Amino acid sequence: MDFSIEDIVEDLTDLDLAILQLLHAGNNDPLKGKVAFQKEMFLIADYIEKIREQSEFIPHTLGPYSEAAEIEIANLRSLGLVREEGQEYKITQNGIAALEKVKPVFSHDQIEAIEDFKEFLNDLTQDELLLFIYVSHPEYTKESGVFNKVIRKRVPTAISLYKKGKVSLEKAAFLAGLPVEKFLDNARG
């Protein structure tokens, strides 16, 4: 049995809408896999309280993880609003239509933040993504199976983030665990 977009929209939660908004951000650019999805949703949840409450992030093997977000993206796929191609998630035309039909639940600033999170994280390597999240939110590292591997490479990874223009000099030095001057010496070397 097929459902109309109107029927589907009635049952979408704020978490569903945050996922659709994230996938719609950046000219519908696809999300680069499950790790990127989880970390981008984590930043959204960290910024938007109602998403934090619905997503319930916990420390997990690769840092912050939300089972609720994982379940909801699967539900959105089954409703035809999201498509998974290889390792990427994409919003479908029906997903865009659903997002356009729903009454706005996010402020302009929140939508802009979602856009910014996607633009910032979507082209990072997994090590860059994990270093940024692990160092910025250490409370989510206790269950990580790759924390030590990521931290061992923190200086070159932080240099990469800095050279890509993703983080400021101060943030890069913080991520590297070095004073700014020592970080600059490493970055020049």
CA angle 147/150/156 to nearest 5° reads 160
The CATH code for residues 1-113 is: 1.10.10
> Helix H segments across the chain?
5-10, 14-28, 33-47, 49-55, 67-78, 93-101, 108-121, 126-136, 147-152, 154-163, 169-176, 180-188
pLDDT at 4: 83
Contact (CB, 8 A) for 69 and 19: yes
For the four alpha carbons of 20, 23, 28 and 30, in that order, the dihedral sign comes to negative
Calculate the CA dihedral of residues 90, 92, 95, 99 and round it to 10 degrees. Answer: 80
pLDDT tens, position by position, for the chain (189 residues)? 567 888 898 899 999 999 999 999 999 999 999 999 999 999 999 999 999 999 999 999 999 999 999 999 999 999 999 999 999 999 999 999 999 999 889 999 999 999 999 999 999 999 999 999 999 999 999 999 999 999 999 999 999 999 999 999 999 999 999 999 999 999 998
In the chain, what are the domain boundaries? 1-113, 122-189
pLDDT at 3: 74
